[in-house]
Chains A and B, each alone.
Chain A
């Protein structure tokens, strides 16, 4: 058992953002959330993280409803990498990664050896060890994304939620980050725009459209020329050279 959403509805300021979304995550799997802009991907991730309440329906962690779970307990299980965060505070890479230990530390207590170890592991996994002293404000967009991922890893989560982590990254960094994330033993839910990358790295994908799940399953089951035309209004040619799904875009349907 891990994170799951059951018929989640979320309205904000009179708009229906999520309209009965159900999502089950297999433990250790990588689940891709896809769909056009405004389909509700980010909102679903925030609801899954317990950052937004549901209007109806329920999100459960190991079968226990999220609102009944203490925030600190959730944060020791679920880590979130948001889209593009920034700070006014003068922090080093190490300072940012250390924030990930906050849910594990007690008030008044100094960081323990376990905290230091988790931070060192997270820095090593994201190959940031020799950048630890660098100031956050001197980092590029891609480096900041990696630092936030390291912070999330320092939380030692079992569930990892990422909101379009490959935005603004060059292709090498995109592949690098996705390879790293999908190799983790965590259950990972990741909002993505690139269908080919989703097909390459996700065990499971769910395509959202106007707050509803238009299709869910393995990439091979979900990504069909008909579905992509219906959801995105885009004509495609889908082939499977050397057994791997390849989506070629031909143009908009108009």
Chain B
């Protein structure tokens, strides 16, 4: 217990340090100490040291963006852990049930075709599309018998369908500028982060984490399949539905604020297993922390390496993450 508390504390400190360092990086040349003093001035009463514009860069651009990166990284990793366990598939990620493709269709309906007449934002359209797509997958897989493989197959089918719809709408109706904008969002970007988005995403993440940790034993029990879980006293149908719904909701919220950031939800759970083991009481918080720290740093790189141009963070997560992941797998190969 003390060792576990120590690790958690170390992870939290590392995350806090990462965030504190990440907000000092950016095109506006602001001294490190002034960045921190600005944040402190906002958090506790203090004297504003910077001009309103530079103050705004810190408080309304860099900090919410970095926090959203942390929340997204944590949320995607947690969803990945839960779905890999529930679906008994190491290739499962938060997008496997069609949530991201549905979101992209919803987004292009709003941005390209102007559905909602300007009253609906891209995020709202994406969220509606994500929830609709997940609902479709759930209903369809239930109608087809509700076995696990049906759920996965329906998810893959929905993913293909909505991706095709998105491409169709973009290619037939969008001009070059809109297409580029949509593509950028689809690949995942945290550039539109606001405090509202951070607050919503963090709240949904907190609820999801509590629900998933509360079902930690049940998730462990799924290791040998649904029958074994049932024989260990898990009400399989109820637990599966509840966990699929909370993770889909969290994924929908994350995708609607930052696009479909790949890799994190697929690979961070595997990386976290290497040092936290496969018991979910430890794996869930470990994945959340690892995902948060990972995405904070990758997003910092994404917005700074090619200044003034920004790389979509989803592109960079894979470019950096894949070699790192291969290295981890290589170092642990002797365990099997």
Q: Could you tell me the distance between the alpha carbons of A245 and B235 in the complex, rounded to whole angstroms? A: 44
Given A99-B221, A110-B1, residue A90 in contact with residue B231 (CB < 8 A): no
Q: Is A112 an interface residue (CB 8 A)?
A: no
Is the beta-carbon distance between B336 and A138 smaller than 8 angstroms?
Answer: yes
Size bracket, chain B contacts: 20 to 34
Residues of chain B within 8 A of A74, CB atoms compared: 233
> Which of these, B216, B218, B224, B231, contacts A87 with CB under 8 Å?
B224
Q: Mark B272-294, 1 if CB is under 8 A from A, else 0.
A: 01000111000000000000000
Q: Is A127 an interface residue (CB 8 A)?
A: no
Q: Is A95 an interface residue (CB 8 A)?
A: yes
A204 CB to closest chain B CB (Å) equals 23
Is the beta-carbon distance between A72 and B220 smaller than 8 angstroms?
Answer: no
Is the beta-carbon distance between B231 and A49 smaller than 8 angstroms?
Answer: yes
The B-contacting residues of A in range 90-115, CB under 8 angstroms, are 90-91, 95-96, 99-100, 102-103, 105, 107-108, 110
Is the beta-carbon distance between B227 and A51 smaller than 8 angstroms?
Answer: yes
Is the beta-carbon distance between B223 and A107 smaller than 8 angstroms?
Answer: no
Q: Could you tell me the distance between the alpha carbons of A87 and B227 in the complex, rounded to whole angstroms? A: 12
Q: Could you tell me the distance between the alpha carbons of A108 and B216 in the complex, rounded to whole angstroms? A: 8
> Which of these, B88, B234, B273, B278, contacts A102 with CB under 8 Å?
B234
Given A71-B234, A108-B214, residue A90 in contact with residue B278 (CB < 8 A): yes
Is the beta-carbon distance between A99 and B233 smaller than 8 angstroms?
Answer: no
In this complex, what residue of A is CB-closest to B279?
A: A95
Q: Mark A136-164, 1 if CB is under 8 A from B, else 0.
A: 01100000000000000001000000000
Is the beta-carbon distance between A75 and B233 smaller than 8 angstroms?
Answer: yes
Is the beta-carbon distance between B233 and A76 smaller than 8 angstroms?
Answer: yes
Q: Is B150 an interface residue (CB 8 A)?
A: no
Residues of chain B within 8 A of A102, CB atoms compared: 217-218, 220-221, 232-234
Q: Could you tell me the distance between the alpha carbons of A103 and B218 in the complex, rounded to whole angstroms? A: 9
In this complex, what residue of A is CB-closest to B210?
A: A108
Q: Is A79 an interface residue (CB 8 A)?
A: yes
Q: Is A89 an interface residue (CB 8 A)?
A: yes
Is the beta-carbon distance between A90 and B336 smaller than 8 angstroms?
Answer: yes
Q: Mark B76-100, 1 if CB is under 8 A from A, else 0.
A: 0000000001001110000000000
Is the beta-carbon distance between A85 and B225 smaller than 8 angstroms?
Answer: yes
B241 CB to closest chain A CB (Å) equals 15
Is the beta-carbon distance between B230 and A71 smaller than 8 angstroms?
Answer: yes
B4 CB to closest chain A CB (Å) equals 9
Size bracket, chain A contacts: 35 or more
> Which of these, A46, A87, A99, A107, contacts B232 with CB under 8 Å?
A99
Is the beta-carbon distance between B1 and A86 smaller than 8 angstroms?
Answer: no
Is the beta-carbon distance between A89 and B336 smaller than 8 angstroms?
Answer: no
Q: Is A80 an interface residue (CB 8 A)?
A: yes
A151 CB to closest chain B CB (Å) equals 9
Is the beta-carbon distance between B278 and A85 smaller than 8 angstroms?
Answer: no
Q: Is B331 an interface residue (CB 8 A)?
A: no
Q: Is A88 an interface residue (CB 8 A)?
A: yes
Residues of chain A within 8 A of B234, CB atoms compared: 71, 102
Q: Is B307 an interface residue (CB 8 A)?
A: no
Residues of chain B within 8 A of A100, CB atoms compared: 232
Is the beta-carbon distance between B223 and A89 smaller than 8 angstroms?
Answer: yes
Is the beta-carbon distance between B220 and A99 smaller than 8 angstroms?
Answer: yes
In this complex, what residue of A is CB-closest to B84?
A: A88
Q: Is A37 an interface residue (CB 8 A)?
A: no
Q: Is B335 an interface residue (CB 8 A)?
A: yes
Q: Could you tell me the distance between the alpha carbons of A46 and B231 in the complex, rounded to whole angstroms? A: 9
Q: Mark B86-120, 1 if CB is under 8 A from A, else 0.
A: 00111000000000000000000000000000000
- Given A90-B335, A99-B228, A135-B336, output 7 extra A-B contacts at Cβ < 8 Å: A72-B233, A75-B231, A75-B233, A96-B223, A102-B217, A102-B220, A102-B234
Q: Can you offer 14 A-B residue contacts whose CB atoms are under 8 A? A: A51-B230, A75-B231, A75-B233, A78-B231, A80-B231, A85-B224, A87-B224, A88-B89, A89-B278, A90-B273, A95-B279, A99-B232, A102-B217, A108-B214
| Residues of B bordering A, CB below 8 Å | 1, 85, 88-90, 213-218, 220-221, 223-225, 227-228, 230-235, 273, 277-279, 335-336
Closest 6 CB pairs of A and B: A75-B233, A72-B233, A103-B233, A80-B231, A85-B224, A89-B223
